[in-house]
Structure 1
């Protein structure tokens, strides 16, 4: 059986190959421009060879050749700028596509993806940033490293066959050097990325939990642990750079060997008895042009190693199969939810979250799920939102197996209000419109009135168009929760899922939010997971859950 590391390398190689095919059309312009630069370099070398031979009294060149060489220099500079822009465009396009795909996969997985927030952030940001060099520099450099030297060697061979063979022989040693240094560089790069991911994830998670660290007086201990992780990243980064310097030094040694070989071959040029001085100078001047694409490839080779390390981490996410299932032709106006002997486990060594749960929620009915933490209330909501699949049993919507639907289709049926509403840095109006981006202003305002958002928005400087900060800065907890309820009104789905919607609210605000939630649930199927005693008295049927099972139903207030 293949070990995890070879499997990861194979998945990374497959991912890079697939993305390279997708970027083929964007990679062609920088390669063609690069070949144009090489051709200009060959022509310029020939003109300079004639000028130098004229200075030696062995040719007849003048101002025309000098002017042409200057024009070629300017042209090469312009082509270099155009090539850089084309490479940047290819890299940005690849990053944009990869980031959109990765983010979509993370959104589709939702809470089912148990990676820490910091790790997810590192995947979408650092890992995809590390892929840019592969598309912007490595792939064009790899193609030019094959075509450019061949073009220069062919031009050299036309003037002097032995000189062309010397250049080709030195060029063939470049892949050998890259292979030797690449073995260690690949491992060092992979370990560096692993250290970077650990540090990024740890830092972000600890920043989010900073109040808890301070509360338990653990800030100094955690700072020490973060320092150790940062030192590990420093050491691994220096190992990668050490291998890169060795590779660059080997490339310079090859250039020196090529120059020395050609100088020895054309030694008669110095003694004054060379039969073709222009050809001799031409071949010597072409050495930089021959090795320029190879040097660019050597410099970009480490971009490929970094990309392989990043692709190994991204492949499990990007190569995950697309969710299977049926699509809804339309959202039904009413739904009946049925759980029949449903079981769900999150880990083999933990008790089941749901253990033979059976319940039914009819259209227009609100079912309260109560019980201690860990009783399985939130697991019911996760199944109905498509974030979890039951291990056994049947979940039905209107009598049909709900698990045959794609997870995204399940989410089309429901509106969700959790414990804390996340508010984006935008206006209150746009935060409500987030639930249904195509909604017009009239629909947004109607949802705001239904959720009693207008009660506080009317006193704000710009009403619903008042901007608020990231995370709800500028709004109280109750006001932010009413914005979340307004989103549910705007979404207008037949199923409403509420998870501790009044947690962390004071009694006065809780009453306001509960009143809005009661009106939201009218005419809809609603399932509410809550500990709040006030909520138990505000809704309909109550199911007391214990260890993943539901007790006998009772009416609110009993």
Structure 2
């Protein structure tokens, strides 16, 4: 498993590197310019020092030029750092947007837990920042700058260039010795972080249940063990990074010692020797930055291993709707669906037909397969056998996103985001005009309770709809469905957990929403026969002939 996973991670990093090439190139060019200016400054300083020793005629002009070049190097370094930060921000934005869009497209079909999804979008993407901001520029400069410095020293003193070349050849050996097992250690660190994040979030959400069964102490100990494991793995990765830095310092010190020892006993003009000594830090500076950024590559490798299955997975293929049909007819023919081979199928030869403008209520006990029908129509799962047709055409030939364009979905627990009521309604169709948003709110009777709020539709609500009752949040969800204005409406227990008075108001809005649209409603009680034809489902198949509900 490690081979394919590592190959997918490398493929993802290569793909993103190509996409962000324009962002990574400026830091490299600025680094090259700073190195060239530094070499010129080093040559001028060498001439000034040689003149102080009685060789040459360098003076204040050379010293002033060297100072100006030093300021230029500092300015280029600041600009380079800014472009590196910009490259990292661009990479994070691109990867986080792609990961979030992919998770939204998968929807309920994604088997990952909430904690693992949050870790992917936040922690894993954050770990890739250093790969684009520091590692890629450092890797490019580590290949280009030492060659530039070597050629400059070769022009001045070929013996010193030979020493630098030998030190440069020993560098990959030192990195290989210190980097054995580093990628695996970083990957294990991120796996430990993912487990800890997921466990903490899941236990936090189920804290009331843990307290009810008196398991809070045991879970606290388990979290402490996971945190200790993460701490150990993080320190192991840091030790590897420090070892690579130590090897680099030893090579640089050895090169300086060899050059100084050779030039120490010689006579003549010392300019070339002084320049060679000053060029040693310039030779090793990009290699030192490369070694310092090496752990960024390790972290990125571990993060990409987790992100690759999500980002490199083939997107849903299929046809795209040219125009939105005004009315739809939905037909299920011997549809079969299983989530787990070890368990009975969710749908076992289900067949029914919903005509255009008709409302069908799927009634039955929990596990009968009602929600599976809605998932199939939204493209979150695909049947194993059978045919699903929309207006007589195979619905499975459409892209999953196109299936979701056809429908408006309202569940029993709609989620509201932190923001105003108006913004939560507009979430269904961001391009809608203010008049369309207000019309949808009026149709769902949102304006009725919003008028009593301090700022009407612009009243702020908290994450999860904090500040609104369950019935009010349900009406906001219905307003979203009115705003989408799709030919197909899918409802999953829309009146569950509502008191009789609120349920009556929501039912009135539901009747208005379903009027003229094809609607499929999943309900335990059959909505008491108030919306349309009722089809009893049990064990994934029709339990008996559908009956026409009486008004």
Do these two structures clear the TM 0.5 threshold for a shared fold by scoring above it? yes
How far is the alpha carbon of 1:393 from its aligned partner?
A: 0.4
Contact kept, 8 Å, 1:340 with 1:393, in 2: the verdict is: yes
Corresponding residue for 2:141? 144
Q: Secondary structure at the match of 1:105?
A: helix
Corresponding residue for 2:101? 104
TM-score (norm 1): 0.96
Is 1:342 aligned to residue 360 of structure 2? no
Is 1:66 aligned to residue 59 of structure 2? no
Corresponding residue for 1:550? 542
Q: Distance in 2 between matches of 1:22 and 1:182?
A: 28
TM-score (norm 2): 0.98
Corresponding residue for 2:402? 409
Contact kept, 8 Å, 2:364 with 2:525, in 1: the verdict is: no
Q: Secondary structure at the match of 2:268?
A: coil
How far is the alpha carbon of 1:557 from its aligned partner?
A: 5.8
Q: Distance in 1 between matches of 2:28 and 2:215?
A: 55
How far is the alpha carbon of 1:280 from its aligned partner?
A: 0.9
How far is the alpha carbon of 1:223 from its aligned partner?
A: 1.3
Is 1:505 aligned to residue 498 of structure 2? yes
Contact kept, 8 Å, 1:184 with 1:243, in 2: the verdict is: no
Query: Alignment length, in residue pairs?
Result: 550
How far is the alpha carbon of 1:303 from its aligned partner?
A: 0.8
How far is the alpha carbon of 1:190 from its aligned partner?
A: 0.7
For residues 251-290 of structure 1, what are the structure 2 equivalents within 5 Å? Answer: 251-268=248-265, 273-290=266-283
Q: Which has the higher mean CA deviation after the structures are superposed, 394-403 or 63-72?
A: 63-72
Corresponding residue for 2:363? 370
Contact kept, 8 Å, 2:28 with 2:140, in 1: the verdict is: yes
1:317-372 per-residue CA deviation (whole Å, 9 max, x = no partner) reads 11111211111111111111111110000111111100111111111211111211
Moved over 4 A (4+): none
Aligned mate of 1:394, from 380, 387, 408: 387
Q: Distance in 2 between matches of 1:349 and 1:178?
A: 50
Q: Secondary structure at the match of 1:266?
A: helix
How far is the alpha carbon of 1:153 from its aligned partner?
A: 0.8
How far is the alpha carbon of 1:34 from its aligned partner?
A: 0.4
Corresponding residue for 2:483? 490
Is 1:439 aligned to residue 432 of structure 2? yes
Root-mean-square deviation (Å): 1.3
Contact kept, 8 Å, 1:502 with 1:532, in 2: the verdict is: no
How far is the alpha carbon of 1:74 from its aligned partner?
A: 1.1
Contact kept, 8 Å, 1:152 with 1:286, in 2: the verdict is: yes
Contact kept, 8 Å, 1:417 with 1:499, in 2: the verdict is: yes
Runs of at least 5 residues in structure 2 that lack an aligned partner in the other structure:
none
Q: Distance in 2 between matches of 1:439 and 1:42?
A: 60
Corresponding residue for 1:116? 113
Contact kept, 8 Å, 2:388 with 2:394, in 1: the verdict is: yes
Q: Distance in 1 between matches of 2:369 and 2:219?
A: 33
For residues 297-312 of structure 1, what are the structure 2 equivalents within 5 Å? Answer: 297-312=290-305
